Structure 1
Amino acid sequence: MSLKKSIILIVILLLIDQISKIYIKTHFLLGESVEVFSWFKIYFIENDGMAWGTKISDFTSTINDRTGKVALTLFRIVAIVGIGYWLVTAIKKQSPNVLVLAIALIFAGALGNIIDSTFYGLLFSDSYHQVATFLPEAGGYDGLLHGKVVDMLYFPLWKGFLPEWLPIYGGKYFTFFEPVFNVADMAISAGFIMLIVFNKKAFSKD
């Protein structure tokens, strides 16, 4: 897979990701949902941390939420530079297409979420009790590096009470699949799954 094709793929994924996020942000109230099917909903939430809303401050009391947010965003930026270098290196070494494709997917997804966390605080008004405005006159809801990642894809495939005989969770109400995510998250997940499933093909002995 050539560098040109990788860039085209990355640009297409970024466009789909950002267009979907901007549409949701400027048309939905925070927490608003639309049922597409019984097992699929468009559900607008914002993620201020890592996966499932986890924050650095959840692990240590020495870092507050805002400092942790900046640290997380800066880490993501450094990581995307490393992933980009990995992608270019893999292409130059003529690595297997599955490896290049996987890295390109991860890069596109990571960059998509970095755009949110870096710039969305400046570009949009907040979504609490109102539909957000793009480039509001009064300024955005927060500063540079303090944006929140927009999530909207929700697949509650099954809801119900688990059997009593199950350890720990027996008898509790459970939803599968509960996380809400976005196109960028899907790209990252697809890339990692490819690396795991096609590990031997992606990472040859050479």
Structure 2
Amino acid sequence: MSLKKSVILIVLILLIDQISKVYVKTHFQLQESVKIFTWFQIYFIENDGMAWGTKISDFLPFVNDRTAKVALTLFRIVAICGIGYWLNDVVKKDKPRVLIIAIALIFAGALGNIIDSVFYGVLFNDSTMEVASFLPQEGGYDGFLHGKVVDMLYFPLWSGRLPEWIPFKGGKYFTFFEPVFNIADVAISTGFIMLIVFNKKAFPKKEA
């Protein structure tokens, strides 16, 4: 697979990801939802930290949230530079197609969420109790590098009270699948799943 085709795939995923995020951001209030099916909703939330809304301060309480946010964003930027170098390297070395596609998906997803973290605080105003505007005259809801990641895909496949005999969660109300995510997250997860499922094809052993 050529680098040109990889770039086309990345751009396509980025367009779908950013168009969906901008649409939700400019048409929904925070925590507003639309039920598409009983098992699928468009549910607008914003992720201010790491995966599933966690924050660095949840693990390191002595770290200021705003400082941690900038550090996390900068780390992601460095990481995506490394992923980009890896993608270019495997293309040059004519590595297996499945490996190139997987890396391209991870790169596109990571870049999609970085765009939110870097720019959305400046580009949009707050979504709490109102629908946000793009490039508002009064300025954005936060500064550069302090944007929140937009999530909207929610799949509550099953909800109910768990049997009492289940350890820890027994008797409690439970929803599967509860996390809310976005197209970028789907791309990253798909890339990692491909590397796991097709590991032997992606990383073939050299013959002696």
TM bucket normalised to smaller: over 0.9
How many angstroms apart in 2 are the aligned matches of 1:63 and 1:18? 30
How many angstroms apart in 2 are the aligned matches of 1:65 and 1:77? 18
Residue type at the aligned position of 1:52: W
Alignment pair present for 1:183 and 2:183: yes
Aligned to 1:23: 23
Q: Deviations over 1:42-67 (max 9, x none)?
A: 00000000111111111112211100
Aligned to 1:74: 74
Aligned to 1:170: 170
Q: Deviations over 1:26-53 (max 9, x none)?
A: 0000000000000000000000001111
Residue type at the aligned position of 1:168: F
Matches within 5 A, 1:75-114: 75-114=75-114
RMSD of equivalent CA atoms? 0.6
How many angstroms apart in 2 are the aligned matches of 1:156 and 1:37? 10
How many angstroms apart in 2 are the aligned matches of 1:61 and 1:33? 32
How many angstroms apart in 1 are the aligned matches of 2:61 and 2:167? 32
* Shift in Å, 1:164: 1.1
Equivalenced residue count is 206
Matches within 5 A, 1:1-150: 1-150=1-150
* Shift in Å, 1:75: 0.6
**TM-score normalised by length of structure 1:** 0.99
Moved over 3 A (4+): none
Structure 1: state its 5+ residue gaps: none
Residue type at the aligned position of 2:43: Y
Structure 2: state its 5+ residue gaps: none
Aligned sequence identity (%): 78
**TM-score normalised by length of structure 2:** 0.98
How many angstroms apart in 1 are the aligned matches of 2:180 and 2:62? 29
